[in-house]
Structure 1
Amino acid sequence: MYWNSRQVTEKRTLPFAASTRDTARAALGVAAGKVERLAEQHPDYFPLYTHEGRWKHGKESWTNWCEGFLGGQMWLFHELGLGDQWRARAEHYSVLVEQRQHDRDVHDLGFVLCPTWQKWAELDGGTEQKKVVVQGGRTMALRLNDQGGFLRSFLAPDSNFIDIMMNIGIIALAALETGDDNLMAIARRHCDTTRKYLVRGDGSVSHEGIYDLGTGEFLRQTTQQGWRNDSSWARGLAWSLYGFTSMYALTGDTHLLRTAIANADYWIEHTQADPVPPNDFDEPHPTRPWESSAAACAAGGLIMLAALVEDDTLAQRYHRHAETTVRRLCEPLFLGIDPAWEGVLKHGSYHERKGLGVDESVMWGDYFFVETLARVVRG
């Protein structure tokens, strides 16, 4: 989401096999068809997850965080030249989320505004679009718990989610655009707190950290969506891998790069048998074998990381695993080829503990899958 705004120069460009690029192009065609039907059948509707393969239902959302992913896919289809209709649609769905730049209730403004308004700004160089992103970054920065040095999650003021690493970049973008050193200090402070208390020595991560509101002292690791408090929730690791890589690209802070490398090494070590993991790496008998949205996000993070690391051997390792993941996700088992299935990427999961969107398509999974496919066809 932040890649085109990187401050760190790529070390290399690694090619994908022609067959992988062809497979990715075909999958993008499937995705564009799914999104087009969604826009036609349910205009101005922002789904979160499918129920029995259908986007339209009245089930719980838990929080309000996915509205940027539909317009984000449209911008990618436009950028890739998949049809003249995508530009107008992308602009329209971006305008629908414009007021979220002032939303102080969620920690996910990066998810909402970067696939839409940041991408719009990158493609057009528009100052008006950048203003929306800057305001979104300033709004996100208001979540800072100054004593603890973290941005609080939507759930509680003493809570820091690993998910916020996917959103902290909007504050860094606002800082870079305006020259506001205080904003950048907030973004980097949150990263430092997160890597200190939520990223473990083996590269795995905790979903959530809890802090003392009086002193800012870190108290414990816990989880909302993993198997148990000391386990490794797969999507949380993907958030961390992608988020720390993005923040390294924006800041050049090698501490963040080392964290991303640790995340990537843990991810690859635990996805050798199948690049698509279950919901939690540590659960001994997973209820379901796959959480595809985690794999889609991790693949994108690995592609970025491969372009940034100094070590050629590491770069090749990350690139190969990303390519293997993409090919796996393009198989009929995961790609929603069946017209009756309305989502793009099957076997995703939103919230297993709450029973929300389990073994379904999820909007962020579709977005990160499309974003990763776009990286492949360009590579």
Structure 2
Amino acid sequence: MRAQLDSYFGVLTEAGATRSTDRYQRALERCLERLRDVMPIVGLRNPKIGRPDLTWNYCGPFDWVVSFQSGQLWLALQLTGEPIFLNAARARRPIFRQILQNRHARDHDLGFQFSLSCVADWLMTSSPEARELGLRAAEALLARFHEEGQYLQAWNPRTTHGGSRAEFVAGRVIADTMQNLALLYWAHQETGHADFRDAALAHAATTARHLVRSDGTSYHTFVFDTVSGAPLRGETHQGFADESCWSRGQAWMIHGFAQCALTTGDKEALDIARRLAAKAEALMGQDPVPVWDYCITEDTPAYRDSSAGAIMAAGVYIIASLTTGAEAARWNAFGDRLLDGLLTTCDLTTNPAAHGLLDHGAAHVKAGFTDTMLPYGDYYFMEALMRSLGHTQFFW
């Protein structure tokens, strides 16, 4: 009987061993059920951050996290084929049109916003309008490329609310942007225009050179001279300190470089993803879920960040898919360890009162947003569960 279950619920690794994945299949099914259950509550709104009662606070129209509910709905459609998920995902399209109509809303996060909405729609349904919106977003992202420094500018000098932060954002790149490069690679595949690919490759090379430290840790942000493009200094925005290692930034880059390797076949990108993942594994020690920053001091609260664990798990499974033999088994085991940690300590899918999937996310510790549900944690949790089970079709 056990052998029969393994053949149904197991995934055969390159090393020839069968991983028992029935726990992950059941968790994924609970995620789908949660999405169905909260659909009448969420409606056309998009979760931003959890409340203490495990309900959601919702996004404004231009929030960088506005697409993660959409991404979950497109994954659910892929898994089930149920029209309810298609309708709920596509009904959000006006939000993304609005982003393209407001220049202050268009920044480096266009990749997050449009890969998990319009690109997903195009890949799933061949909608010409979705493709057009995705390409317009890719063109806006490409316009942020700084030729002298060979990077994509992160934030805008003026926010959608009218506030100015020009001095802070000038010449600044951030770890998160590695995850946004997928939009440029997709646009290159769709159009054949080399500028999209070349900007993505250049930004990845700049990130590897300046944000990835020699010991395998990473900066959250790096600042360049805005005129010459000369590298100036590494800093943090959400991490503990400039020279510390913010765990979600490390996770963004693990997934981002792994995804670059998957898309382009670039072996150097795969090697960087391996180094970042191995360092994160070492820094975690025996912890089931990453701490929000791997370099905090003893007198600093050790908040966990389930979103970092989910993002990293999805990225580690990509690494496993690009390696063979014992190495693939090693990365699958690390991915399984991360998922097991999330399921043991953060899983909300068995709590009927919760509107999200994961607890104990750290959105921005210095701003006081800790120990909460996060929509990006939920999206990557679903992606990681699917990758653990052998699914290979995603929107990046």
TM-score with structure 2 length normalisation? Answer: 0.85
Compute the RMSD of aligned alpha carbons: 2.4
Q: Which residue of 1 aligns with 2:375?
A: 363
Work out which of the residue numbers 311, 321, 330 in structure 2 matches 1:307. Answer: 321
Work out the CA distance in 2 between the residues paired with 1:359 and 1:150.
33
Q: Which residue of 1 aligns with 2:162?
A: none
Deviations 1:182-221 (A, max 9, x none): 2211111111111100011121110000111121111100
SS at 2:367's partner residue? coil
SS at 1:281's partner residue? coil
Q: Which residue of 2 aligns with 1:39?
A: 39
SS at 1:77's partner residue? helix
Deviation, structure 1 residue 324: 1.6
Alignment of 1:98-137 (within 5 A): 98-101=97-100, 104=103, 105-137=106-138
SS at 1:230's partner residue? coil
Deviations 1:103-127 (A, max 9, x none): 6432111111112222222223444
More deviation, 365-374/327-336: 327-336
Q: Which residue of 2 aligns with 1:246?
A: 259
Contact 1:210/1:219 (CA < 8 Å) preserved in 2?
yes
2:151 aligned with 1:145: no
Which amino acid counterpart does residue 76 of structure 1 have in structure 2?
Answer: L
2:65 aligned with 1:51: no
Work out the CA distance in 2 between the residues paired with 1:255 and 1:102.
37
Label 1:92 to 1:12 Cα distance change in 2 as closer, same or farther (>3 A): farther
SS at 2:232's partner residue? strand
Which amino acid counterpart does residue 154 of structure 1 have in structure 2?
Answer: W
Work out the CA distance in 2 between the residues paired with 1:56 and 1:276.
22
Contact 2:313/2:339 (CA < 8 Å) preserved in 1?
yes
Alignment of 1:272-291 (within 5 A): 272-285=285-298, 286-291=300-305
Deviation, structure 1 residue 90: 2.0
Label 1:151 to 1:76 Cα distance change in 2 as closer, same or farther (>3 A): same
SS at 1:298's partner residue? helix
Label 1:273 to 1:56 Cα distance change in 2 as closer, same or farther (>3 A): closer
2:175 aligned with 1:162: yes
Label 1:244 to 1:53 Cα distance change in 2 as closer, same or farther (>3 A): farther
SS at 1:186's partner residue? helix
Label 1:307 to 1:102 Cα distance change in 2 as closer, same or farther (>3 A): farther
Contact 2:49/2:57 (CA < 8 Å) preserved in 1?
no
Label 1:36 to 1:96 Cα distance change in 2 as closer, same or farther (>3 A): farther
Work out the CA distance in 1 between the residues paired with 2:101 and 2:208.
28
Label 1:349 to 1:222 Cα distance change in 2 as closer, same or farther (>3 A): same
Gaps of 5+ in 2: 1-12, 157-168, 392-396
Q: Which residue of 2 aligns with 1:376?
A: 388
Alignment of 1:85-234 (within 5 A): 85-101=84-100, 104=103, 105-154=106-155, 156-234=169-247
Work out the CA distance in 1 between the residues paired with 2:94 and 2:377.
22
SS at 2:222's partner residue? strand
Which amino acid counterpart does residue 24 of structure 1 have in structure 2?
Answer: Y
Work out the CA distance in 2 between the residues paired with 1:120 and 1:185.
25
Work out the CA distance in 2 between the residues paired with 1:14 and 1:129.
41
More deviation, 116-125/139-148: 116-125
Deviations 1:247-278 (A, max 9, x none): 11222222212211111111222224024110
Work out the CA distance in 2 between the residues paired with 1:263 and 1:235.
12
Q: Which residue of 1 aligns with 2:276?
A: 263
Contact 1:306/1:316 (CA < 8 Å) preserved in 2?
yes
Work out the CA distance in 1 between the residues paired with 2:18 and 2:222.
38
Contact 1:113/1:136 (CA < 8 Å) preserved in 2?
yes
Deviation, structure 1 residue 100: 3.1
Which amino acid counterpart does residue 43 of structure 1 have in structure 2?
Answer: G
Structure with greater contact order relative to length (CA < 8 Å, sep ≥ 6) = 1
Which amino acid counterpart does residue 305 of structure 2 have in structure 1?
Answer: E
Bigger Rg, which one: 2
Label 1:13 to 1:147 Cα distance change in 2 as closer, same or farther (>3 A): farther
Q: Which residue of 2 aligns with 1:68?
A: 67
Q: Which residue of 1 aligns with 2:80?
A: 81
SS at 1:49's partner residue? strand
Contact 1:53/1:361 (CA < 8 Å) preserved in 2?
no
SS at 1:330's partner residue? helix
Contact 2:151/2:203 (CA < 8 Å) preserved in 1?
yes
Contact 1:162/1:240 (CA < 8 Å) preserved in 2?
yes
Work out the CA distance in 1 between the residues paired with 2:362 and 2:131.
33
Work out the CA distance in 2 between the residues paired with 1:374 and 1:202.
31
Deviations 1:15-52 (A, max 9, x none): 8633x2x2223222332333334431232111211121
Contact 1:102/1:136 (CA < 8 Å) preserved in 2?
no
Deviation, structure 1 residue 330: 1.6
Which amino acid counterpart does residue 303 of structure 1 have in structure 2?
Answer: Y
SS at 1:276's partner residue? coil
Over the matched positions of the two proteins, sequence identity in percent amounts to 26
Label 1:326 to 1:92 Cα distance change in 2 as closer, same or farther (>3 A): same
Work out the CA distance in 2 between the residues paired with 1:159 and 1:352.
21
SS at 2:233's partner residue? strand
More deviation, 278-287/24-33: 24-33
Q: Which residue of 1 aligns with 2:354?
A: 341
Work out the CA distance in 1 between the residues paired with 2:345 and 2:285.
20
Which amino acid counterpart does residue 49 of structure 1 have in structure 2?
Answer: I
Contact 1:241/1:260 (CA < 8 Å) preserved in 2?
yes
> How many pairs are equivalent?
363
Work out the CA distance in 2 between the residues paired with 1:247 and 1:312.
22
